[in-house]
Structures are given as structure tokens and as C-alpha cells.
């Protein structure tokens, strides 16, 4: 035996394993090295597919170059490979041309001119999770000794190392690609949130990023945004969207509220009962919070059952993006509602400086005070602090219904009442059409508040001076409705003309949340020229990893750690819990958004 040749071969095989990154090339080079340095003249490596009952050649070396004569797949019943796998040991055929137990090999051995065959299991699997074996053939009958088999088994073991190395490299490349995709998706989501886009457009982006069909629920607007169908084989996307918007939205919102009250995600089989044929879908419902306040929910329909770590990272990013967007729209909604209420108060009290001034202010809000308009005023028997949250939800819901009727419609709150300002333009502006709109509001109120409200329609207003008298007439009518416990649509024909005023509540919870979270830090940075907010943002953005954060900020890691310790001493910084980290990150992002909207001026909570 030529030991030096064998050692050279092992050296060459080891070099090939170390040098190549392509699995098929490595396997071809390994089988070629075996044939060049041993008495084996040809060989191949095969994948074993037990389900199909076939063995497939994935690498081959044959110096005879016989062209189309090669057989690239074998029936396992006619191949010794299945025996090698079952026994987990080499199978040697002394002379394949005379071995009747393997007729397929016998025929090919005669065509290709080989005699002795050795088949060894490699103890590894290919990319399709199929077992792999090595087969070598000699052009003459040889005596296969224990030394020969030991050498082949060493080569097989090295080949298995090459296969596992290729699998690890492929997995690492796939993970790196997915990680890059995840980071890009996260950046795109944040850009979507900061670009003043709608919840619907963000939900559509999330639906394209996550592997599962999703459905977004904005509880700040009682809005359900369906994505692609959770059962594409039975329900197409357009049919699913119609089902959600027309039939299932109320059930979905009710279930989202119920899950949010539990404060944790729930996985359950949801029965959609309002359809002609009941539909059951396994669903993960993730509540969305901003500083412990429920803003919505994200429904995930698990066609793909197992979420990877990256899937969960994407899901967390999606939840954060939707939560921030819903809160941002909620803030804008409240600010716009307050501005509308202030304008209406000026109109009701007639305390404007000049008519041109109030008309210009109204025009900036999209209201033409000299165009024919009417007010729909809604009041409720339940009032006080316990009713405030429900009143806000009703306000948002009424705004959505009014916008569906007219893009120029506005809704605002004033004196514990909800007022819809409806321009009298286009068709369907008759009293009968407006009665249909008011019945829609009553239905929304019955669903949300569990009560039937008082609803009053004002006279037509054609100038700023008309609003005060129209309001007082509605208010007197609502007073009578409460006095006589009348609900539903109230008209002057029932009691006589009475005006009503809708309350406007300017809540400051969002600004208080940001002040509690980072207000001291913002003010300290402004007064002392420090960069604690920037440091905290970078630290959170880098997953609370000190070295990565220090690199991003251009600091030494010791300097960063000292700065974090100083922040803890000054501001009681606490980032140990995921909820606290979420609150800090949200406060920082909201602060940046508000600062940008105020052209760099101080935001209201940080004078």
C-alpha cells in the first residue's frame, strides 16, 4: 500500500473542504481525489430518497467519459445503497458484473466496465434532508481490506464534514439575508410611521412583510383594516375584505377590546358567526399599547404555524409601528378636534375679532362658514368620568361615519356633546337623507355605548352669525329631550326649537406620558448641552448592546457605560423591563416627531 499517496490524498481532500464554499464542487473534487490516489478508478456520491424509492447521483467521477450511458438515478430495491444505510456500515460487491442480487448494478457494470464496488453511508444529509452515500468502483476485481475500508471511511467522514460545513454556510447566508431583510423592513416601517401615512397603508406594508396574513384593528378610530385572505384556497382577497368590512368588523373590534383588557396576546380558534357559513380560523391576537393605553390590535392568522426569532422581531416591529401610528393619529385627532371646538366656541359666543379673521381660521380647517351647512348634535344620558372614554370612542366612530358621507364633514366635541358639521353640497342632502345619517350614528352609539343617544339636526347655517342661534336652539331641544327622557332623533316638531352645544375635551395624556418618560432628560440636555436623549435612543436602537452603541456614537465603551450610569443617577433610568424600554423608545420617537413638526421648537411638555 502506498501510504504516502494516501496521505497526499487526505491532505488534498482536507484542502478542498477548507477552500470550497460550493457543496457540489467540493463533493466532485473529493470523489475525484479518491480515484486519483487509490486503486478505485471511478465513483459517485448519491442522495437517497426513501419516499420515492430512488437514489440520485449528485457527484460523479469517471475518466471513461461515456456520455449518455450514465444512469443518474437508481431504484433502491436494486441498489446496495439502501443496505448500507440500513446497516450503517460499508457494503462491498466483489464483482458487480457477476452479482445477481443487484441486477441494476450488474447491467451498468458491464456497460461501464467496473468490477469491485464499495458503498459507504456518509452519515450526513443533503439540502433536501436526504441521506447521502459514497460509492466507488474499480475496473478490476480487487481485495478490499480493512485498511482500504478504513481509508474510505476516513474520506467519508471528511466528506460529511464538507457537507455539514456547506449546510452551516448556507444557513448562515440565509439567516444573514433574512436579518438584512428584517432590518430593512423595520427601517421601512419606521419611515412609514414618520411619513404621515395612514394606518391602512402601514397595515398593508406589514401584511407584505410578515409571513402570515394579518388584520389591523385601530381602536382609536374603530377601524378594521383587512389584509390578504387567511384561507386563499377558499376565499380570495377581495371577498375577504368585503366580508370583514361589511359583516365581521364589529365582532373583530369587540374581540380586540376583550383581548386588550387581558393585557396579553391570545391564541384561539375564532368563530366568525355572522356569515352564511360559519368560519373558524386559528388566530393570534396581539394587543397594541402605548404606555399601557390600548390603541388597537394586530391579528395574525397562522397559516405558517412556527414563528422564527426573526419573525418575532418583525412582529414586534410591526406592533411598535402600528402603535406609534395609531397614537400619532390619536394625538392629531385630539388636537384637530380641540381646534375645531375652539373655533365653534368663538362662533357660539360671537367673540371673534373680525368676521374675516374667523372665516380665515375656519378655512384653514377646511370649513367654509359662508357655505350652507347643518349641525348634527348627539348627546347621551350617561355622562361624567366613567363615560369619558366611551365618549371619545364615539367621537372617533362618528368622525369615520361622517367622513364616509362627505370628505368635507367635520366632527368635534363640546360640552359633553358630539357635533357633526355637514356641508350641504351635492346630492342626498335632504332631511330624509340626513335622517339616514343620524340613524347610522344611533346604531354606532348603541353598539359602542350600549345606549340610544339624543340626536338633533340644526337649521341651515349660511354665515358665521347663524351658528350661535342654531346652537342654542339645538341645546334647548336636547334639554327638553333629557327632561322628558326622549331618545333617538329629536326634532323641533316634538318640543319646539332648542339649540345644543357639544363639549370639547382637550386631554393631555400623551404629553404627560412623554414628560414622565424623558421630560427631565430633554430639559437637562437643553439647559446643559448634554446628549443624554441621543445616547438613550442609540442604546435602545442597538438592542441595549454597549459595544455596538458605543461604535454607533463614536465613543469608547467605558465612556458610554459611565454616561449610562450618570443617566441612572440623574433621571432614575430603568431599562430592565421590555415594557419600560418600549415606553422610553416610544417617548423618544414621539418627542422627535413633535419637535420636527414644531420646526425644532420646544415641545409643549419640555419648556
Q: What percent of the chain has pLDDT over 70?
A: 82
3-170 and 196-328 share one CATH topology? yes
Q: What is the pTM of this model?
A: 0.45
CATH of 350-495, one of 3.30.930.10, 3.40.50.2000, 3.40.50.2300, 3.30.70.270: 3.30.70.270
Distance CA 239, CA 353 (A): 54
> Among the ranges 131-140, 317-326, 364-373, 442-451, which has the highest mean pLDDT value?
131-140
C-alpha cell at 7: 496521505
The pLDDT confidence band at residue 3, using thresholds 50, 70 and 90, is low
So what's the pLDDT on residue 84? 84
* Class (C level, CATH) for 509-597: mainly alpha
CA nearest 458: which of 445, 450, 467, 449? 467
More confident residue, 306 or 13: 13
Rounded to 5 degrees, φ, ψ at 125 are -130, 155
Extents of the domains making up the chain: 3-170, 196-328, 350-495, 509-597
Output the pLDDT for position 388.
58
Q: How far apart are CA 359 and CA 191, in angstroms?
A: 36
Length of the chain: 607
Highest mean pLDDT: which of 28-32, 90-94, 172-176, 477-481?
A: 90-94
- Distance between CA atoms of residues 231 and 240, nearest Å: 9
What's the distance, CA 322 to chain centroid?
A: 9
What's the chain's average pLDDT?
78
pLDDT of residue 65: 67
Q: State how far the Cα of 487 lies from the Cα of 472, in Å rounded to an integer.
A: 19
Q: Which helix or strand (DSSP H or E) is residue 284 part of? A: strand 279-290
Question: Is residue 387 predicted with pLDDT exceeding 80?
Answer: no
Is the pLDDT score of 413 beyond 50? Answer: yes
C-alpha cell at 164: 455539514
Task: Give the least confident one: 59-63, 285-289, 291-295.
Answer: 291-295
Instruction: Tell me the mean pLDDT in the region 93-101.
Output: 86
User: With 60 as the cut, is the pLDDT of residue 146 above it?
Assistant: yes
What pLDDT score was predicted for residue 325? 72
Which has more confidence, 436 or 309?
A: 436
Q: Give the span between the Cα atoms of 36 and 225, in whole angstroms.
A: 66
Q: For the CA atoms of 568, 570, 571, 572, what is the dihedral angle to 10 degrees? A: 40
Which class for 283: exposed (0-12), middle (13-18), buried (19 or more C-beta within 10 A)? buried
Helix (H) or strand (E) holding 283: strand 279-290
Burial of 263 (0-12, 13-18, 19+ CB in 10 A): exposed
Q: Pick the closest to residue 413 from 447, 437, 389, 430 (CA basis).
A: 389
Strand, helix or coil for residue 453 = coil
Residue whose C-alpha is closest to residue 391's, from 451, 350, 335:
451
Helix or strand (DSSP H, E) at 240 = helix 237-243
Question: How far apart, in whole angstroms, are the C-alpha atoms of residue 489 and residue 576?
Answer: 54
Alpha carbon 267 to its chain's center = 16
The cell for 20 is: 470550497
Tell me the backbone φ, ψ of residue 88, rounded to 5 degrees.
55, 45
Is there a contact between 418 and 504 (Cβ–Cβ < 8 Å)? no
The more confidently predicted of residues 442 and 383 is: 442
The domain made up of 3-170 is a member of CATH 3.30.360.10: no
Least Cα distance to 422 among 434, 432, 413 occurs for 434
Q: Which residues make Cβ contacts (< 8 Å) with residue 403, sequence separation at least 6?
A: 409
**Domain 196-328 sits in CATH 3.40.50.300:** no
pLDDT at 192 over 70: no
Residue 73: what pLDDT?
78
pLDDT of res. 597: 45
- Which candidate, 138, 99, 136, places its Cα nearest to that of 107? 99
Query: Which residue do the cell numbers 496521505 mark?
Result: 7
Amino acid at each position: 500500500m502506498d501510504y504516502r499517496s494516501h496521505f497526499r490524498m487526505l491532505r488534498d481532500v482536507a484542502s478542498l473542504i477548507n477552500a470550497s464554499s460550493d457543496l457540489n464542487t467540493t463533493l466532485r473534487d473529493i470523489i475525484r481525489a479518491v480515484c486519483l490516489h487509490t486503486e478505485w478508478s471511478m465513483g459517485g456520491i448519491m442522495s437517497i430518497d426513501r419516499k420515492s424509492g430512488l437514489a440520485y447521483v449528485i457527484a460523479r467521477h469517471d475518466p471513461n467519459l461515456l456520455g449518455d450511458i450514465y444512469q443518474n438515478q437508481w431504484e433502491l430495491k436494486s441498489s446496495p445503497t439502501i443496505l448500507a444505510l440500513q446497516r450503517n456500515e460499508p457494503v462491498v460487491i466483489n464483482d458487480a458484473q457477476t452479482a445477481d442480487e443487484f441486477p441494476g448494478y450488474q447491467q451498468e457494470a458491464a456497460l461501464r466496465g467496473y468490477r469491485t464496488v464499495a458503498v459507504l453511508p456518509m452519515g450526513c444529509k443533503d439540502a433536501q434532508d436526504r441521506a447521502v452515500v459514497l460509492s466507488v468502483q474499480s475496473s478490476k476485481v480487487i481485495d478490499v481490506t480493512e485498511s482500504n475500508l478504513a481509508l474510505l471511511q476516513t474520506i467519508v467522514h471528511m466528506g460529511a464534514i464538507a457537507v455539514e460545513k456547506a449546510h452551516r454556510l448556507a444557513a448562515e447566508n440565509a439567516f444573514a439575508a433574512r436579518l438584512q431583510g428584517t432590518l430593512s423592513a423595520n427601517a421601512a416601517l419606521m419611515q412609514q410611521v414618520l411619513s404621515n401615512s395612514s394606518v391602512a397603508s402601514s397595515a398593508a406594508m406589514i401584511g407584505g412583510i410578515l409571513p402570515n396574513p394579518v388584520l389591523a384593528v385601530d381602536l382609536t378610530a374603530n377601524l378594521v383594516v383587512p389584509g390578504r385572505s387567511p384561507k386563499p384556497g377558499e376565499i380570495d382577497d377581495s371577498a375577504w375584505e368585503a366580508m370583514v368590512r361589511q359583516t365581521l368588523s364589529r365582532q373583530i373590534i369587540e374581540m380586540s377590546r376583550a383581548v386588550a383588557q387581558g393585557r396579553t396576546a391570545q391564541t384561539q380558534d375564532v368563530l366568525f358567526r355572522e356569515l352564511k357559513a360559519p368560519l373558524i380560523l386559528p388566530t393570534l391576537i396581539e394587543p397594541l399599547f402605548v404606555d399601557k393605553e390600548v390603541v388597537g390590535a394586530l391579528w395574525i392568522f397562522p397559516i405558517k404555524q412556527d414563528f422564527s426569532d426573526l419573525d418575532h422581531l418583525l412582529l414586534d416591529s410591526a406592533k411598535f409601528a402600528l402603535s406609534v401610528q395609531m397614537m400619532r393619529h390619536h394625538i392629531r385627532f385630539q388636537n384637530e378636534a380641540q381646534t375645531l371646538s375652539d373655533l365653534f366656541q368663538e362662533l357660539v359666543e360671537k367673540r371673534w375679532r373680525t368676521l374675516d379673521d374667523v372665516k380665515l381660521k375656519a378655512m384653514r380647517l377646511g370649513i367654509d362658514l359662508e357655505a350652507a351647512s347643518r349641525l348634527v348634535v348627539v348627546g347621551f344620558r350617561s355622562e361624567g368620568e366613567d363615560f369619558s372614554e366611551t365618549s371619545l370612542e364615539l367621537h372617533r366612530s362618528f368622525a369615520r361615519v361622517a367622513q364616509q358621507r362627505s370628505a368635507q364633514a367635520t366632527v368635534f366635541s363640546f360640552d359633553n356633546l358630539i357635533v357633526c358639521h355637514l356641508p350641504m353640497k351635492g346630492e342626498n342632502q335632504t332631511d330624509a337623507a340626513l335622517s339616514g345619517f343620524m340613524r347610522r350614528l344611533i346604531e354606532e352609539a348603541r353598539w359602542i355605548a350600549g345606549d340610544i343617544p339624543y340626536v338633533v339636526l340644526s337649521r341651515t347655517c349660511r354665515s358665521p352669525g347663524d351658528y350661535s342661534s342654531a346652537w342654542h336652539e339645538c341645546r334647548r331641544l336636547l334639554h327638553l329631550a333629557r327632561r322628558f327622557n326622549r331618545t333617538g332623533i329629536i326634532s323641533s316638531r316634538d318640543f319646539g326649537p332648542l339649540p345644543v352645544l357639544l363639549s370639547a375635551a382637550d386631554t393631555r395624556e400623551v404629553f404627560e406620558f412623554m414628560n414622565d418618560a424623558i421630560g427631565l432628560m430633554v430639559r437637562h440636555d437643553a439647559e446643559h448641552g448634554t446628549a443624554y436623549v441621543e445616547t438613550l435612543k442609540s442604546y435602545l436602537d442597538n438592542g441595549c448592546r454597549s459595544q455596538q452603541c458605543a461604535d454607533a456614537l463614536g465613543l469608547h465603551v467605558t465612556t458610554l457605560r459611565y454616561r449610562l450610569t450618570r443617566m441612572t443617577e440623574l433621571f432614575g433610568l430603568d431599562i430592565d423591563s421590555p415594557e419600560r424600554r418600549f415606553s422610553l423608545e416610544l417617548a423618544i420617537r414621539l418627542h422627535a416627531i413633535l419637535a420636527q413638526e414644531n420646526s425644532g421648537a420646544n415641545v409643549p411638555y419640555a419648556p
